[in-house]
């Protein structure tokens, strides 16, 4: 049985991926410093899977501590989620974002080299495509100019990983470029649990639907799109999790080097369409107003999914209605998120 080290494994995407890995027969070891997640997630994962996953409360920048994980477990593969990921926060705190996100990856890569661990799946983002309006984005689309330090850390980490793969012939890497992960596990036991006022659309809509927030402000309806609001490629987090299992299987069956895949649905959904779908899911109106455009927003962003379908055998199966209903189920069952 392969052992997978999941850094950031109590986070939103990490925790959902742990479930998919377990269901696919992998042994999972979780490392997380709990800066942006709760230890309660481990209890929820146990309720969902019946398994108490081995957990280390460790900061991936702390090499001595992280080394003990490699000492105590025979790690076959690493999926690296750990990192700070709030776009707006990254503009306010660039030093923390560059220090944490770059150093954590470098520490992981350094220990992988020391312990001859050669399989890496890295959590990247469509944000590396920058401000291009040449959609859909394919994996060959040029890397763009990022609009925030968070995006630049993903851009830089892709380059660091590529350089490592050139220097270490045995290293096999898949870079997964996520589009917009949303939704929650069908149990309603885990889901997106951001601190404070959400920046992203789905968690914000969810709080408005629950009455926790008064209304949604739609950031602009004068874009050159069918209904004037921005289009995004929302992908269900459980589909995204399954994409990571496919990535590990691809690494097992293929050659060394770096392989890049978009994880999206290939479909653009507008803000207004997302609001309408959420109203259908929660059964009542979502109060909303139209506000000014948000700096840095692309009018249209969605994935070409051809490469992931052909080479990974990955195709998202859940639609915007599944995303909204699962998000609402999580919200209703956890009105104040998780508490430790």
CA distances from 340 to 18, 38, 40, 42, 291 (A): 20, 6, 5, 10, 36
**Which residues carry out catalysis?**
150
Cβ–Cβ contacts within 10 Å for residue 13, how many? 21
Which residues are CB-neighbours of 196 under 8 A, at least 6 positions away? none
Choose which of 116, 170, 199, 254 interacts with ligand WQD (CB under 6 A).
199
| Residue 3 lies near ligand WQD (rule: CB under 6 A) | no
Applying CB under 6 A, which part among 10-18, 217-225, 257-265, 314-322 lies near ligand WQD?
Answer: 217-225
* Binding-residue total with ligand WQD (CB under 6 A): 19
| Residue 125 lies near ligand WQD (rule: CB under 6 A) | yes
**Do the beta carbons of residue 233 and residue 268 sit within 8 Å?**
yes
Query: Please, which residues bridge with residue 181 across strands?
Result: 235
Q: Of 141, 124, 140, nearest to 132 (Cα)?
A: 141
Applying CB under 6 A, which part among 43-51, 65-73, 95-103, 195-203 lies near ligand WQD?
Answer: 195-203
Choose which of 97, 204, 261, 302 interacts with ligand WQD (CB under 6 A).
204
**Do the beta carbons of residue 70 and residue 78 sit within 8 Å?**
no
Q: 3-class DSSP state for residue 137?
A: strand
State how far the Cα of 138 lies from the Cα of 131, in Å rounded to an integer: 14
Closer by beta carbon to ligand WQD, 125 or else 265: 125
| Residue 246 lies near ligand WQD (rule: CB under 6 A) | no
| Residue 230 lies near ligand WQD (rule: CB under 6 A) | yes
| Contact set for ligand WQD, span 283-302 (CB under 6 A) | 294, 297
Contact mark string toward ligand WQD, 54..93, x via CB under 6 A: -------------------------------x-x------
| Residue 324 lies near ligand WQD (rule: CB under 6 A) | no
**Do the beta carbons of residue 317 and residue 246 sit within 8 Å?**
no
User: How far from the centroid of its chain's Cα atoms is residue 197's Cα?
Assistant: 19
| Residue 219 lies near ligand WQD (rule: CB under 6 A) | yes
Applying CB under 6 A, which part among 62-70, 197-205, 277-285, 305-313 lies near ligand WQD?
Answer: 197-205
Residue nearest to ligand WQD (CB): 230
Choose which of 22, 172, 185, 232 interacts with ligand WQD (CB under 6 A).
232
Closest contact distance (angstroms) between CB of 41 and ligand WQD is 19
**Do the beta carbons of residue 20 and residue 244 sit within 8 Å?**
yes
Closest contact distance (angstroms) between CB of 7 and ligand WQD is 16
State how far the Cα of 59 lies from the Cα of 82, in Å rounded to an integer: 9
302: buried, middle or exposed (CB in 10 Å: 19+, 13-18, 0-12)?
Answer: buried
Applying CB under 6 A, which part among 27-35, 108-116, 198-206, 319-327 lies near ligand WQD?
Answer: 198-206
Closer by beta carbon to ligand WQD, 29 or else 157: 157
Task: Determine the straight-line distance between the first and last CA of the chain, rounded to whole angstroms.
Answer: 32
Q: 3-class DSSP state for residue 141?
A: coil
| Residue 180 lies near ligand WQD (rule: CB under 6 A) | yes
Residues that bind ligand WQD (CB under 6 A): 85, 87, 125, 127, 178, 180, 199-201, 204, 216-219, 230, 232, 271, 294, 297
């Amino acid at each position: 049985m392969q052992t997978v080290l999941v850094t950031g494994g109590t986070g939103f995407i990490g925790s959902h991926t742990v479930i998919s890995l377990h269901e696919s027969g992998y042994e999972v070891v979780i490392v997380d410093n709990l800066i942006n997640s709760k230890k309660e997630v481990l209890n929820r994962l146990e309720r969902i899977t019946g398994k108490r996953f081995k957990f280390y409360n460790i900061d991936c920048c702390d090499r001595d501590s992280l080394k003990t994980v490699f000492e105590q477990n025979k790690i076959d593969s690493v999926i690296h989620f750990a990192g700070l990921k709030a776009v707006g926060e990254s503009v306010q705190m660039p030093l923390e974002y560059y220090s944490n996100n770059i150093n954590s990856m470098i520490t992981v890569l350094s220990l992988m080299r020391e312990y001859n661990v050669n399989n890496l799946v890295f959590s990247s983002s469509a944000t590396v495509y920058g401000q291009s309006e040449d959609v859909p984005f394919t994996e060959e689309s040029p890397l763009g100019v990022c609009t925030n330090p968070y995006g630049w850390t993903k851009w830089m980490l892709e380059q660091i990983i590529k350089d490592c793969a050139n220097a270490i012939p045995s290293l096999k890497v898949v870079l997964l470029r996520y589009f917009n992960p949303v939704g929650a596990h069908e149990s309603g036991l885990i889901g997106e649990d951001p601190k404070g006022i959400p920046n992203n659309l789905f968690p914000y809509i969810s709080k408005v639907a629950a009455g926790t927030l008064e209304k949604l402000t739609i950031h602009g309806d004068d874009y050159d799109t069918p209904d004037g609001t921005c289009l995004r490629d929302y992908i269900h987090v459980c589909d995204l999790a399954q994409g990571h299992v496919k990535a590990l299987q691809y690494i097992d069956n293929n050659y060394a080097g770096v392989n890049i895949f978009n994880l999206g649905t290939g479909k653009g959904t507008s803000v207004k369409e997302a609001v309408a779908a959420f109203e259908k899911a929660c059964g009542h109106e979502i109060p909303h107003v139209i506000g000014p455009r948000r700096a840095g927003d692309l009018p249209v962003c969605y994935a070409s999914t051809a490469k992931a379908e052909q080479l990974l055998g990955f195709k998202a199966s859940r639609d915007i209605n599944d995303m909204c209903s699962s998000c609402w189920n999580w919200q209703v069952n956890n009105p104040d998120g998780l508490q430790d």
